[in-house]
Chains A and B, each alone.
Chain A
Amino acid sequence: MRVSIVGAGPAGLYFSILMKRLDPSHEITIYERNPPDATFGWGVVFSEGTLGELRDADYESYIAITDSFARWDAIDIHHRGRLIRARGQAFSAISRKGLLALLQRRARELEVELRFEFELSDLDGYLDADLVVGADGVNSLVRSLRAGVFKPHLDTYPSKYAWFGTDLVFDAFTFIFKETEHGVIQAHAYPFDAELSTFIVECNDDVWERAGLGSLSETESIAFCEQLFADELDGHRLLSNRSIWMSFVQVANQTWHDGNVVLLGDAAHTAHFSIGSGTKLAMESAVALTNAFVRHPDDLDQALIDYELERAPVIERFQQAARDSATYFENAKHYVDFDPVQFSFNLLTRSGRIGYANLSLRDPSFVRALDSWFTSGRRDADTLRGIAPPPMFAPLAVGERMLPNRAVLSPPVNDGADHGIPSAGRTEELFEASSSGVGLVLTEPVAVTAEGRITPECPTLESERHAQAWRRIIDHLHSQSDALIAVQLSHAGRRASTHPHRLGVDLPLGDDGWPLVAASPLPYSPGAPIPKQMDRSDMDRVRAQFATATGHAAAAGFDLLELNLAQGYLLASFLSPLTNRRDDGFGGSLEERLEYPLEVFDAVRAAWPADRPLAVRISASDWKRNGSRVDEAVALASELAERGSALFHVVAGQTVVDGTQVEYRRSFLTALADRVRSQAGVPTMVGGYITTIDEVNTAVGAGRADLCILESQAVEGGPAIR
């Protein structure tokens, strides 16, 4: 086979080596526009996981690479003058220049033809090769020549970074966070040989603007960074090698090959440098492409399809993790007030690839310090507790109540209420939830009046009779477990008067239904009646109903009351610009949209016993164009915290029926709870398809949420023991 490779980076060189090993009769030429010793960047990182693959693929280059490795097993985090070290993080790095030199040597040894300083402007004249490989990097010419087929998607990240070297040899992968007058600036640094380390400086674009970094010359930029990181650099210099400020570009392609032209390495895919995987992914892709030719030696099409099918899902996973990691650094300014141990745990678990359980294996003493700090507020060696429960089992004070742990169940409704009174079946479901070991049980929406029910089977707290029915249930639950019981008080607004959820949600009752009220006369779902726009007397009446129902909830003995301000229900219809069209002082600006929900909140707070905590369920995003976003949720949470809300249950979506751009996946609400918690400085509770204890320990330990709602299946069933 005749192979033309464009680009002599790690991907192109390594692929040439592997193909020559596969069959020495392959004729392989690499075209590289730079001279052989030109290099950009300093060192590149490999995880231990990659090394096995390299060893199996080509033992000679594996030996050469690993002989020149710098290795470490710790991550150091510099935060507010403290140094936190987490062990068990095996990584290695190599100078990019050294890596290229040894790959060039190995390629020549295998008789690959290397043509440097060879600039291509098109592929004419190269296409008669059996295979043309575009391994020409993030700004790939090959990719742009065939953009119509590859359909590349280039996503430019908002932060700025500069890639420096330093003659300080770190002994760990090192993160340094600096709080400057302009904002947070951080460094990612790691050693890559006996003399040098990579030192990447990164900050958000607004910080970069304020600090005036864009207008500094290269020398001035270096001076700025040397001064900023003077303590950690300890007298050492920063070195530049065309170290200019850049924005990271994430490359993805809809398809990776076109006829006999295939993309490899950064030309095909990039992942943000903060997970240190770019070179690793490029070289693994070279292995996968070669293996595809092992499987299909005589069928180029099949080989290229196979290569893409194998790699695309892996790349997608890494890009998701890289995106989450980059987002963490973009938001770092909101975490700098964390205690150093929690700050570090949050950083280590930022990409979702490592959680509490995994870290417990990597560095048991680090996790022990986290556990100890979490329950006692202490972390120093002399105050460290011998053992402490993991974060999920740390008690939590909410207002004046103490929750025994951080797990919450909100069991789905199988058996509904009759005339607003919970059925025996529902009582049993709540009982099972409260006996499961969780710290809190949260009810389904309980309506303030019959008019505010979602379905005819919804429970209410409209009368003293209803309060008494709940009282019996709660007394029973309290007598059997330590779990606290929270009522979710709501008025369904324009989502009221629908069929029970067994067949579907938001299915209007039609003629059997009752009239609806909302902020504006907009039907919620197809076929739903138009709600009445609430006038002042409606608003007074409903506010009074909330207060009355709150009194009933108190009499019933609920430990905590959660007021529902989300999910498109009545109070949410005032909050979102998508559903509030009023111009009477209760709609328009955020302040005006908040007006009525705050009135109701105040009435509920006044009616709820002062010694019992009040929580709110708020929507952190409508997930829809022109809808509410997280900044409004942060403002709302701050306002409600001042007015006496002790806990914020963060949800999102369901403001309108169609076109909600939600990405359903595991823990899909945790990032939003994190934003509200860190930016408004309030305790949060979050659900969103959390199915494992590890997700709870990770989210709670990292300070993304204070309480996690588990899916029911997480506490059901048991191991197969017979």
Chain B
Amino acid sequence: MRIGVGLPNTISGAGGDLLIEWARRAEDGPFSTLAVLDRVAYDSYDPFISLAAAAAVTKRIRLATMIAIGPLRSTAGLAKLAGSIAALSGDRLTLGLAVGARLDDYEASEIDHRNRGRRLSEQLAFLRGEWPKSDLGPVAASRDGVEILVGGASGPAFARMARYADGYAHGGGPPRAFARAAASARAAWSDLGRPGQPRLWGQAYFALGEEDGGGEYLRDYYAFTGPFAEKIAAGNLTTPGAIRDLIRGYEEEGCDELILLPTVAEPGQLDRLIQVVA
């Protein structure tokens, strides 16, 4: 199992210089991937702009959206963003897409929320189908130039993943929750007759050391889920032991890549995480 790290692009108040420095240090660290989150109606950096900036200061590390809300963009716009970042980064993009969970992101973007599933399917069909033959270049040089993951927990989401993606982006939780979702992903993959196995990506939040604010950030970021925000905050990994346990648990359940997402935008967080996973 590979370990990736999140870029704090959705933590309010994180400075641009911090994000760039974070990307540089992640590149030099033991991480396979640098991942971003996507929210519109929240004080946060755009995920694609963030990855473009990261692409400019890195050469090796993969760049991933974990996930980006596809239907908020036009299909052509999404293809341009993905193709541009793939080209700028030398084909290092992993494009995780889902319908997202927040109505207000759709309202702020003036996009109809009701057709989100069908729209995402259309986008995926285009990215995987007509895109290379369209005039919406640049197009990734290789298939892995834009690796596609799909997230979501519903039956239609798993079917969409198996139909169009390279793998599944899980939304977080203890290893047993990941295991259930992984079984669903594998079942869907087999049901649609895909050869091999879906790549399985997981994610978890962490905050290491004395610096405060991780829990507050998660309660605020997930306030739209109501009381569920507290449960997400309770899952924040705050000790090296908790992180190691989670890594072991995910590895046992067949996770291919685990992204550890920061909840405190301080460079010290990255240093401490490097010590734990190195």
Answer yes or no: are A and B bound together in one complex: yes
Contact B192 A413 (CB under 8 A): no
Inter-chain contact A507/B128, CB cutoff 8 Å: yes
Whether a CB of chain B sits under 8 angstroms from the CB of A660 is: yes
- What's the nearest-Cβ distance from chain B to residue A237, in Å? 47
In the complex, A305 has a CB within 8 A of chain B:
yes
Residues of A within 8 A of B122 (CB): 526-527
B176 to A689, Cβ gap below 8 A?
no
From the candidates B164, B177, B228, name the one contacting A504 in the complex (CB within 8 A): B164
Q: Does A35 reach chain B (CB closer than 8 Å)?
A: no
Cβ B176 vs Cβ A313 within 8 A:
yes
Q: Using known A-B contacts A302-B234, A309-B231, determine if residue A665 contacts B184 with beta carbons closer than 8 Å.
A: yes
Which of B155, B164, B165, B231 has a CB less than 8 Å from the CB of A305? Answer: B231
List of B residues within 8 angstroms of A659 by Cβ: 117-118, 156
Looking at the assembled complex, report how far the CB atom of A288 sits from the nearest CB atom of chain B, in whole angstroms: 14
B125 to chain A, nearest CB (A): 4
| Residue among B193, B227, B235 making CB contact with A444, cutoff 8 Å | B193
Q: Does A480 contact B (CB under 8 A)?
A: no
Contacts of A623 in B (CB 8 A): 155
B12 close to chain A: CB less than 8 A: no
A688 touching B191, Cβ below 8 Å: yes
Query: How does the 8 Å CB contact mask read for A654-690 relative to B, with 1 for contact and 0 for none?
Result: 1001111111111010000000000000000001110
Q: Are A527 and B130 in contact (CB under 8 A)?
A: yes
A628 to B240, CA, bound (A): 52
Take A301-B230, A526-B125 as given contacts and tell me if A664 and B187 are in contact as well, using a CB distance cutoff of 8 Å.
yes
| Residues of chain B in range 147-189 having any CB-CB distance to chain A below 8 Å | 155-156, 158-160, 162-165, 176-177, 180, 183-188
Contact A689 B187 (CB under 8 A): yes
Contact code string A525-569 (vs B, CB < 8 Å = 1, else 0): 111000000000000000000000000000000000000000000
Contacting residues, chain B, for A309 (C-beta < 8 A): 231, 234-235
- Does chain B have a CB within 8 A of A113? no
In the bound complex, what is the Cα–Cα distance between A306 and B58 (angstroms)? 40
Interface residues as binary, A501-535 with B (CB distance below 8 Å gives 1, 0 otherwise) = 11111111010000000000000011100000000
* B183 & A689 in contact (Cβ 8 Å cutoff): yes
Could you tell me if A505 and B193 are in contact, using CB atoms closer than 8 angstroms?
Answer: yes
Q: State the Cβ distance, B205 to closest chain A Cβ, in Å.
A: 14
Q: Is B244's CB within 8 Å of the partner chain A?
A: no
Cβ contact within 8 Å between A510 and B130: yes
Closest to A502 in B: B195
Interface membership of A149, Cβ < 8 A: yes
- A689 and B117 alpha carbons, distance in the complex (Å): 24
Q: Give A445's nearest chain B residue, CB to CB.
A: B193
Q: Mark A233-268, 1 if CB is under 8 A from B, else 0.
A: 000000000000000000000110110000000000
B253–chain A nearest beta-carbon distance, Å: 14
Q: Are A412 and B187 touching (Cβ within 8 A)?
A: no
Number of interface residues of A (CB under 8 A): 48
Cβ contacts B31-67/A at 8 Å (1 or 0 each): 0000000000000000000000000000000000000
* Minimum C-beta distance from A356 to chain B (A): 20
Query: Known: A510-B130, A510-B133. Is A661-B156 also a contact (CB below 8 A)?
Result: yes
Across the interface, do A660 and B159 meet the contact criterion of CB distance under 8 Å?
Answer: yes
**Which interface residue of B122, B130, B156 has the most chain A CB atoms within 10 A?**
B156
Instruction: Tell whether A527 pairs with B129 under 8 Å between CB atoms, given A414-B196, A664-B155.
Output: yes
CA–CA, A313 to B191, complex, Å?
A: 26
Question: Once bound together, how far apart are the Cα atoms of A309 and B174, in whole Å?
Answer: 10
- For residue A411, give the distance in angstroms from its CB to the closest CB of chain B: 9
Q: How far is the CB of A321 from chain B (nearest CB, A)?
A: 14
Docked-complex contact A526 and B126, CB < 8 angstroms? yes
- Asked if B125 and A506 make an inter-chain contact with CB atoms under 8 angstroms apart, the answer reads yes
Closest to A316 in B: B180
Of A413, A663, A711, which is within 8 A of B155 by CB? A663
Q: In the bound complex, do residue A501 and residue B231 qualify as a contact, i.e. CB atoms below 8 Å apart?
A: no
A85: min CB distance to chain B, Å: 35
| Cα distance, A414 to B192, chains bound together (Å) | 14
CB within 8 Å for A526 and B227 given contacts A501-B193, A510-B129:
no
Looking at A301, A305, A687, the one whose CB has the most chain B CB atoms below 10 A away is: A305
Total A-B contacts with CB atoms under 8 angstroms apart: 131
Contact of B194 with A by CB under 8 A = yes
From B124, B125, B129, B180, residue with most partner A Cβ within 10 Å: B129
For the complex, give the distance between the alpha carbons of A661 and B154 in Å.
8
Interface: B121 (CB within 8 A): yes
Give the CA-CA distance A91 to B125 in the complex, in Å: 54
- Residues of the A chain whose Cβ atoms lie less than 8 Å from the Cβ of B187: 664-666, 668, 688-689
Q: Does B272 contact A (CB under 8 A)?
A: no
> In the bound complex, do residue B163 and residue A657 qualify as a contact, i.e. CB atoms below 8 Å apart?
yes
- Complex alpha-carbon distance, A659 and B186, angstroms: 19
A653 CA to B143 CA, complexed, in Å: 29
B residues in contact with A258, CB < 8 Å: 227
- Is A706 engaged at the interface, CB distance under 8 Å to the other chain? no
A494 at the A/B interface (Cβ < 8 Å)?
no
Whether B190 sits at the interface, judged by CB under 8 Å, is yes
Is B226 an interface residue when CB atoms closer than 8 A count as contact?
A: yes
Q: Which residue of A lies closest to B124 (CB)?
A: A504
Is A202 an interface residue, CB under 8 A from the partner? no
A149 with B230: CB separation less than 8 A: no
- Residue of A255, A508, A664, A711 near B228 (CB, 8 A) is A255
Closest beta carbon of chain A to B160's beta carbon, Å: 8
Knowing A502-B195, A660-B156, the reply to whether A412 touches B125 (Cβ < 8 A) is no
Is B188's CB under 8 angstroms from A664's CB? yes
- Asked if residues A412 and B130 are in contact (CB atoms below 8 Å), the reply is no
Task: Give the most central of A503, A623, A661: most B CB within 10 Å.
Answer: A503
In contact, A658 and B158 (Cβ under 8 angstroms): no
Give the shortest distance, in Å, between A305 (CB) and chain B (any CB): 5
- Chain B positions 13-41 with a Cβ under 8 Å from a chain A Cβ: none
Is there an interface contact between B156 and A501, defined as CB atoms closer than 8 Å? no
Interface residues of A in 591-627 (CB under 8 A from B): 623
Residues of A close to B228: CB separation below 8 A: 254-255
Chain A residue nearest to B230 in the complex (CB): A305
Is the C-beta of A499 less than 8 angstroms from some C-beta in chain B?
A: yes
A664/B117 in contact, CB under 8 A = no
Q: How many Å lie between the Cα of A687 and that of B190 in the bound state? A: 10
A112 to chain B, nearest CB (A): 28
Cβ–Cβ < 8 Å partners of B194 in chain A: 412, 501, 504-505
Residues in A with CB closer than 8 Å to B234 are 302, 305-306, 309
Within 226-268 of B, Cβ neighbours of A (below 8 Å) are at 226-228, 230-231, 233-235
Chain A residue at minimal CB-CB distance from B192: A505
From known contacts A308-B231, A658-B118, A659-B117, infer whether A508 and B129 are also in contact, taking CB-CB under 8 Å.
Answer: yes
- Neighbour of A660 across the interface among B155, B190, B193, CB < 8 A: B155
Query: How far is B164's CA from A504's CA once the two chains are assembled, in angstroms?
Result: 4
- With A658-B121, A661-B156: A507-B183 Cβ-Cβ less than 8 Å: no
Once bound together, how far apart are the Cα atoms of A440 and B220, in whole Å?
56
Contact B227 A255 (CB under 8 A): yes
CA of A504 to CA of B125, assembled, Å: 9
A508 neighbours in B (Cβ, 8 Å): 129
Residue of A nearest to B75 (CB): A526
Residue among A660, A662, A688 with max Cβ neighbours from chain B (10 Å)? A662
Measured CB to CB, the nearest residue on chain B to A652 is: B191
- Contact partner of A526 (CB less than 8 A), chosen from B121, B183, B184, B233, is B121
Q: Which residues on A sit within 8 Å (CB–CB) of B195?
A: 412-414, 501-502
Who on chain A is nearest to B165 by CB? Answer: A504
Q: Show 10 residue pairs from A and B whose CB-CB distance is below 8 angstroms, ordered by the A residue.
A: A255-B226, A313-B177, A412-B195, A444-B193, A510-B130, A527-B126, A527-B129, A657-B163, A662-B158, A664-B187
Q: A507-B129, A662-B191 are known contacts; what are 12 more A-B pairs with Cβ within 8 Å?
A: A149-B226, A149-B227, A313-B177, A412-B196, A657-B121, A658-B118, A659-B117, A659-B156, A660-B155, A661-B156, A662-B188, A664-B183
Chain B residues close to A by CB (< 8 Å): 117-118, 121-122, 124-126, 128-130, 133, 143, 155-156, 158-160, 162-165, 176-177, 180, 183-188, 190-197, 226-228, 230-231, 233-235
Name the 10 nearest CB pairs between A and B, nearest first: A689-B187, A255-B227, A526-B125, A662-B155, A664-B184, A526-B122, A664-B187, A507-B129, A504-B164, A504-B128
